[in-house]
């Protein structure tokens, strides 16, 4: 009974329903497939048609690279065509850091292969910040042949490291011209900001270095040139497969300087071991023949980036080799200013060619007991203008300063270039105005009013007055030319000027400034000052007559002894009893030949003693060499430690 009931409850399969279900599922699946195909086709259309340009470019960027080619930097020559700054080919190790998984590990491995130092790695990490991703970054410069050989043997282990040749700035005369040429060094963040502001950043793609100071900086636009490029196909390891396109770079302009290398080297040798500065100009056009600051330093140290240890050495050197004394050194001009004050006083009518004063060895400020001493304690007796220059009579110029007053002194000395930059073709940051004092200056500097007593030491180039050797040389050039002012300059010509035969050389403009001194000062007043300077060297009482007793040419000059500290009323100067840094500076200005000057000199020997003896001796050696070809480095100077001379 139960079996029958069970049999009655059994159901048979509904094939029609199953077929309908299958068909519905098949249709849904087919619809999904159709939709997916449509989506796929749409995506393909988007990629292959609508976005073809974009992805094609992306693809090419993965396959094609633009490699910048830096231009060769222009060569710098002296006036006679001797190369002062050149380019050498060196080999550097480059690495693509973004493609290396274990960069630090690989750097450690390279240490033993190419003598990679911790400092090299530190510099690389800093420089890496200046490069775009996937670009090769210099890891080590100036590889030796041995280092190159070691790396080539192991190159298969380092697919993203390679060696390339590059141009490297080189200064063959080392420290002799650093304060003229300056140097190039790695482009830093500040350089990039400046280049971006000037819209020049694209001109430095692929370039590591830029002029930092000196001629290298001032004429950077001439010397740098324009970069080229190579369009290359690369593989997935960054290796070049083939060259697709090439555009040559445009080399920088070669330039010729006014510097006479032989004279520059001779003066440097002459000043060896001294802290000193010498400026030599051609008074006929303002060309700088020599610009020597001693001691100096080797600019080659900076080209690839100077080590922090070496830089600290230079920075902390008590002799200050980094300091350009010719343009940044501010010294009391001392008695070298007396010819200029004499011309000014004659022009103002404060004195006349017939003025005679009596010098007892001191000058007393009217209405006070304050006395200003002469360098010759017993005095010079009766003194006229010519004798005041010949014997460097301090009391005469105390009176001149008193009668002129600080306002007129300031007015006239500005005409001679004191208190102003010279206009030389170097960065203004590399030259100081020094100090030509006046009332406003003292008020601003010390919050004090100008006193009459402040004016008196200014009459002998002391007190608040300071000047640079370049200012002294320019002032003397103005005197030699009787008021015509030539701007000191270092650029003689560019190579393109030499090649451009269509431009007549005689039409080349000279850097000249207008000067009202030509009309303000009579020829007779100029001649009085010049005659006094001639007698400094050849007069019977000239302060430098002993030094120039055997001179084979006629010259004129003026000594100066700049006091670093003042003496008390009864104190006697003795250099042996005081520290060297407190001893007097020796100064000397000169020009020769007397009738047709070819050279003007300004010399400062820091803590060098008497200007007429020691400064005059240096000047004579230089004039002997330049005018007669007599070379001597046996510089004998007179011991002036017992007293102060002028």
The residues assigned a catalytic role are: 335
Instruction: Evaluate the omega torsion of the peptide bond into residue 547 and state whether it is cis, within 30 degrees of 0.
Output: no
Smallest CA-to-CA distance from 538 within 530, 546, 528 is with 546
> Helix, strand, coil shares of the chain as percentages rounded to 5?
45, 20, 40
Block residue for tokens 């510097």: 259
Is 435 in contact with 427 (CB distance < 8 Å)?
no
Output the CA angle 495-497-502, nearest 5 degrees: 140
> Counting runs of H as helices and runs of E as strands, what totals does the chain give?
24, 22
User: Could you say which DSSP state residue 274 is in?
Assistant: S
Output the CA angle 68-72-77, nearest 5 degrees: 165
Is 405 in contact with 437 (CB distance < 8 Å)?
no
Helix H segments across 237-318? 261-270, 300-303, 308-316
d(CA 185, CA 211): 7
d(CA 226, CA 269): 38
Residue 367 exposed, middle or buried by CB count within 10 Å (0-12, 13-18, 19+): exposed
- Rounded to 5 degrees, φ, ψ at 133 are -60, 150
Helix H segments across 46-76? 52-63
Residues paired with residue 600 on neighbouring β-strands, in sequence order: 281, 591
Smallest CA-to-CA distance from 601 within 578, 623, 585 is with 623
d(CA 226, CA 203): 6
d(CA 367, CA 382): 23
235: its two tokens: 């593989």
Helix H segments across 460-555? 469-480, 495-499, 517-520, 523-538
d(CA 378, CA 8): 157
What sign has the CA pseudo-torsion 25, 28, 29, 30?
A: positive
187: its two tokens: 């482009």
Sequence-distant (≥ 6) Cβ neighbours of residue 432 within 8 angstroms: 327, 328, 330, 421, 468
User: Could you say which DSSP state residue 32 is in?
Assistant: H
For residue 115, the SS3 value is coil
- Rounded to 5 degrees, φ, ψ at 521 are -120, 130
d(CA 333, CA 324): 17
Residues paired with residue 557 on neighbouring β-strands, in sequence order: 590
What angle do the packed helices 338-348 and 394-415 form, to 10 degrees? 80
Residue 629 exposed, middle or buried by CB count within 10 Å (0-12, 13-18, 19+): exposed
């Amino acid at each position: 009974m139960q079996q029958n009931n069970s049999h009655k409850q059994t159901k048979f399969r509904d094939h029609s329903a199953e077929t309908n279900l299958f068909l519905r599922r098949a249709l849904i699946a087919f619809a999904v497939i159709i939709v997916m195909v449509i989506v796929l086709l749409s995506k393909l259309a988007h990629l292959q048609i609508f976005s073809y340009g974009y992805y094609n470019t992306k693809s090419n960027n993965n396959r094609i690279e633009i490699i910048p080619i830096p231009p060769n930097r222009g060569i710098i020559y002296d006036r006679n065509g001797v190369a002062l700054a050149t380019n050498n080919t060196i080999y550097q190790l480059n690495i693509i850091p973004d493609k290396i998984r274990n960069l630090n590990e690989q750097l450690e491995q390279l240490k033993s292969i190419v003598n990679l130092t911790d400092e090299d790695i530190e510099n690389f990490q800093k420089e890496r910040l200046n490069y775009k991703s996937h670009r090769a970054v210099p890891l080590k410069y100036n590889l030796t042949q041995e280092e190159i050989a070691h790396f080539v043997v192991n190159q298969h282990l380092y697919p993203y490291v390679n060696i390339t040749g590059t141009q490297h700035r080189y200064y063959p005369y080392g420290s002799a011209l650093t304060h003229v040429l300056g140097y190039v060094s790695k482009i830093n963040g500040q350089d990039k900001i400046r280049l971006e502001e000037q819209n020049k950043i694209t001109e430095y793609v692929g370039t590591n270095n830029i002029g930092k100071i000196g001629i290298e900086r001032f004429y950077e636009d001439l010397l740098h040139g324009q970069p080229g490029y190579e369009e290359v196909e690369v593989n997935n390891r960054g290796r070049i497969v083939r060259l697709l396109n090439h555009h040559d770079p445009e080399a920088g302009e070669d330039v010729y300087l006014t510097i006479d290398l032989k004279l520059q080297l001779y003066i440097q040798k002459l000043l060896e071991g001294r802290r000193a500065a010498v400026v030599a100009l051609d008074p006929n056009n303002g060309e700088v023949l020599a610009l020597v600051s001693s001691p100096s330093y080797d600019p080659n140290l900076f080209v690839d980036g100077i080590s922090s240890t070496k830089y600290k050495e230079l920075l902390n050197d008590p002799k200050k080799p980094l300091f350009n004394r010719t343009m940044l050194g501010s010294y009391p001009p001392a008695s070298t200013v007396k010819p200029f004050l004499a011309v000014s006083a004659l022009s103002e009518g404060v004195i006349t060619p017939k003025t005679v004063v009596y010098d007892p060895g001191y000058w007393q400020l009217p209405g006070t007991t304050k006395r200003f001493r002469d360098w010759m304690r017993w005095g010079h007796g009766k003194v006229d203008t010519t004798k005041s220059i010949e014997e460097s009579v301090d009391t005469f110029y105390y009176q001149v300063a008193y009668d002129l007053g600080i306002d007129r002194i300031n007015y006239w000395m500005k005409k001679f270039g004191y208190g102003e930059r010279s206009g030389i073709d170097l960065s203004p940051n590399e030259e100081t105005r020094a100090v030509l004092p006046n009332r406003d200056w003292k008020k601003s500097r010390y919050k004090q009013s100008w006193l009459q007593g402040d004016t008196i030491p200014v009459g002998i180039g002391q007190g608040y007055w300071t000047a640079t050797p370049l200012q002294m040389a320019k002032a003397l050039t103005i005197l030699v030319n009787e008021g015509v002012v030539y701007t000191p300059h270092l650029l003689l010509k560019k190579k393109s000027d030499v090649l451009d035969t269509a431009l007549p050389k005689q039409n080349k403009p000279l850097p000249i400034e207008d000067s009202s001194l030509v009309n303000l000062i009579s020829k007779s007043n100029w001649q009085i000052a010049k005659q006094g300077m001639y007698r400094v060297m050849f007069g019977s009482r000239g302060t430098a007559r002993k030094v120039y007793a055997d001179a084979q040419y006629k010259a004129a000059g003026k000594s100066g002894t700049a006091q670093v500290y003042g003496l008390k009323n009864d104190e006697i100067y003795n250099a042996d009893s005081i520290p060297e840094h407190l001893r007097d500076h020796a100064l000397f200005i000169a020009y020769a030949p007397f009738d047709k000057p070819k050279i003007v000199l300004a010399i400062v020997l820091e803590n060098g003693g008497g200007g007429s003896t020691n400064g005059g001796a240096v000047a004579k050696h230089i004039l002997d060499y330049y005018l007669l070809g007599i070379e001597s480095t046996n510089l004998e100077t007179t011991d002036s430690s017992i007293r102060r001379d002028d």
